[in-house]
Amino acid sequence: MRVSINVKVYDNGDHTCLVWLTADNQVIPDCRGFTVRRLLNGTESFLHGFVGFSDDDKFDPANPWKFPLQRYLWWDYGVKPGDKVQYSVVPVVGKDRSQLQLATAAASALTPEMVITGQATPHVSAYFNKGIVAAQWVSRALAALGKKPKMADIIADPKNPLRIALSGLLRPQLLQLLEDTKDKGGEVYAALYELNDPELLAGLMALGQKCHLVLANGAFKPPDNDENKAVRAKLKGKVDLHDRLVTGSHFAHNKFVVFCDSTGTPERVLSGSTNWTMTGLCTQANNGIIVDDPDVAKYFLDEWNQIKAAGSAYPPTFAQFNSSSKSFQLDGGSITQWFVPTTDAQDLTFARNLINNAKDGILFLFFNPGQFVAPDQPKKWTLLQNILVRDHDDTNPAFNPNLYVRGVVNQEIPNLTTESTSRTKAHPVLDPSEPANPVTLFSGSKQPPQRLHYDSMVPKNIKDTFHNWETEVLGTGVHIHSKVIVLDPFGTNPVVMTGSHNLGFKASSQNDDNLMIVQGNGPLAASYAINIIAIYQTYRWNAYVEAHRQDPQVWHGPVDNDTWQSDYLAGDHLAEIKFWLGDHTAGGAPAPGGTTVRTVTATGPAPASNRPAPSPKKSPKKKNPPKKRPSKTAKKAPVKKRAPAKKKKAKRRSR
């Protein structure tokens, strides 16, 4: 059988995302999975799974591909900005697990060289931290630090390697922006909700009076009603400090910084979801977006002056100024910038129109967007509610049950992540009597939302029951803090919405916030999309583990036959693969003037000269902590010391 495998690779500076599919969507006979041959700066290695076919299988460092990947979507966290990387997907075949070999003749063509970068387009870049989103590598890193290490101490130490790893690419970018501005004799204008990170604080103080800072009171509570009280005292007289101590139901919630040259002229701006705190930088999943454009930066500076003039109040002129947006043409697309509070939720109206016109898919991360609002008050809906009715409510004019929807919401939201007792037509949800959940996963109209409890986020028995899987290390609290919506990332009009805005009516009407909406920038949309899907898949795997950790009949390792492919190559699973390949779109080109997705693609089999050796002698040790490998469940031969599998079909394992 002649096999032709098509491969597509995306990157966002933090990691690459690989998706592949046989050209005819057919099962490969005797295929026990795939390995990914990687050329990283010219050095060959293999991306592989981390569990064998049975308890008796031992990992062979010389032949890592013998722990194959049983799926068609994978991530490589072993890359960093500036690396040059190429990939080839190779089937691992054999009559059984004892006769595995690389099907080199069926390997995909080697992808063209990709240089890893967070720079989406010439003037727009996005950077992400890693946080402690249920990642095994955090467990391993903590174990290396000795007995009972304290996360609070780790993230407070600027030299701690785990702090450096958790903060990802965000930390060096923020520090570099501050350092470059200081070196040029420039100035910064910052509006911050919270501030306590030692390195970021030092970077601001190093600018002295050229640091113009509006510092809010954070998530204030009695008796001081100022979360930043200690830092405020430390900054007094050291920088140009302006207090914004709001009260009532308001939050001065911005996290933006304008960077100016030595004459005070705006040059670039940083926005996104990241609070300038140790937890914001290290333990929560966050993003930062940098726009290198004087006009956009000037508009943010205008808003900074509005905030400063408002003091600790909310005068009518403030909301009036914010109730219209400005749009800027940049890098073949557009940036529409909104600030809040507004007078009539004009920002949400603009965003809703884009959501209602998404054609192919919607991906999102939300932190506390707000509660469900009755159907007859659509102006007060959260944007999450707008997304959900797109594929759940057939009375909605924008209803489309075929949309690809994947998202994660941190914090329980009554009637959105839990069932409503009053709605007559509600999307399917889990039992509202269940304990409060910190995270909910959304997977489109055909699957109910998955409400994850803390036992799913911290599955204590992963290592015991699932053998080589490490116990996840995750405390209580906020873990998804990004506020991002991505529409049609591989379509003709890709859209990214992000900023400090929690994407609900409360934020729009009562908070200081900003919402940046970028249209037509395919590389930026792809960067955010692969960040979202990686977080989604990690939590989905955790939920699966917790639900089935005591059940010997479900997935505990790869399937020792070729039937695992069948579910992936049909129905919703095949549609998901095709979404990431971009095959679902009506047209492959961006809208006029738009920017295409930055990706590399390999089509067809590899030329004989580029195929991997049949039996590689050694695989260089990976420098990055391994990721969990996803695969399909059931249809496997019984494992030693376990009862035979029941005939019922088990849930598909996804990561």
**Residue 584 — pLDDT band, cuts 50, 70, 90?**
low
Beta strand spans in 463-618 (E): 484-487, 495-499, 513-519, 599-602
CA-based radius of gyration for the chain: 25
**What is the signed CA dihedral for 51, 53, 58, 64, rounded to 10 degrees?**
-70
For the stretch 171-227, pLDDT in tens is: 999 999 999 999 999 999 999 999 999 999 999 999 999 999 999 999 888 898 999
Would you say residue 429 has pLDDT above 50?
A: no
Q: Are 218 and 232 in contact (CB under 8 A)?
A: no
Phi, psi dihedral angles at 206 (to 5 degrees): -65, -20
- Report the DSSP pairing between strands 287-291 and 404-410: unpaired
Phi, psi dihedral angles at 531 (to 5 degrees): -70, -40
pLDDT at 649: 36
Please state the separation of Cα 414 from the chain's center in Å.
24
Q: Give the amino acid at 273.
A: S
Would you say residue 449 has pLDDT above 50?
A: yes
CA distance 101 to 99: 7
**Residue 444 — pLDDT band, cuts 50, 70, 90?**
confident
pLDDT at 652: 35
**Residue 153 — pLDDT band, cuts 50, 70, 90?**
confident
Would you say residue 594 has pLDDT above 70?
A: no
Percent of the chain clearing pLDDT 90 (strictly above) = 63
Among the listed residues 98, 120, 118, 123, the one whose alpha carbon sits nearest the alpha carbon of residue 32: 98
**What is the signed CA dihedral for 203, 205, 206, 211, rounded to 10 degrees?**
90
Would you say residue 630 has pLDDT above 80?
A: no
Which one is predicted more confidently, 485 or 593? 485
**Residue 549 — pLDDT band, cuts 50, 70, 90?**
low
For the stretch 389-398, pLDDT in tens is: 998 888 888 8
* Structural fold of domain 119-313: Endonuclease; Chain A (3.30.870)
- CATH class label, 319-520: alpha beta
Which one is predicted more confidently, 463 or 473? 473
Among the listed residues 95, 100, 116, the one whose alpha carbon sits nearest the alpha carbon of residue 60: 100
Would you say residue 465 has pLDDT above 70?
A: no
pLDDT at 258: 98
Where along the chain do the CATH 3.30.870.10 domains lie? 119-313
Find the range with the poorest average confidence among 100-114, 474-488, 493-507. 474-488
Would you say residue 609 has pLDDT above 80?
A: no
Mean pLDDT of the chain: 84
pLDDT at 6: 94
Find the range with the poorest average confidence among 133-147, 405-419, 612-626. 612-626
CA distance 89 to 454: 36
Q: Give the amino acid at 61.
A: P
The mean pLDDT value for 589-615 works out to 63
Taking phi over 0 as left and psi of -120 to 50 as alpha, with beta for the rest, 521 belongs to: beta
pLDDT at 540: 85
pLDDT at 21: 96
Residue 279 burial (10 A CB sphere; 0-12, 13-18, 19+): buried
DSSP string over 464-476: HHSTTSPPP---S
**Residue 636 — pLDDT band, cuts 50, 70, 90?**
very low
For the stretch 331-361, pLDDT in tens is: 999 999 999 999 999 999 999 999 999 999 9
For the stretch 305-318, pLDDT in tens is: 999 999 999 999 99
The mean pLDDT value for 361-368 works out to 94
**Residue 88 — pLDDT band, cuts 50, 70, 90?**
very high
pLDDT at 447: 83
Would you say residue 403 has pLDDT above 90?
A: yes
pLDDT at 159: 94
CA distance 462 to 392: 34
CA dist 486 → 22, 169, 277, 495 (Å): 27, 21, 26, 6
pLDDT at 633: 37
DSSP string over 194-244: -B--HHHHHHHHTTGGGEEEEEE--S--TTT--TTHHHHHHHBTTBEEEEE
For the stretch 18-50, pLDDT in tens is: 999 999 898 999 999 999 999 999 999 999 998
CA distance 468 to 85: 28
The mean pLDDT value for 465-477 works out to 48
CA distance 225 to 207: 28
DSSP 570: S
CA distance 276 to 506: 23
Question: What's the whole-model pTM score?
Answer: 0.86
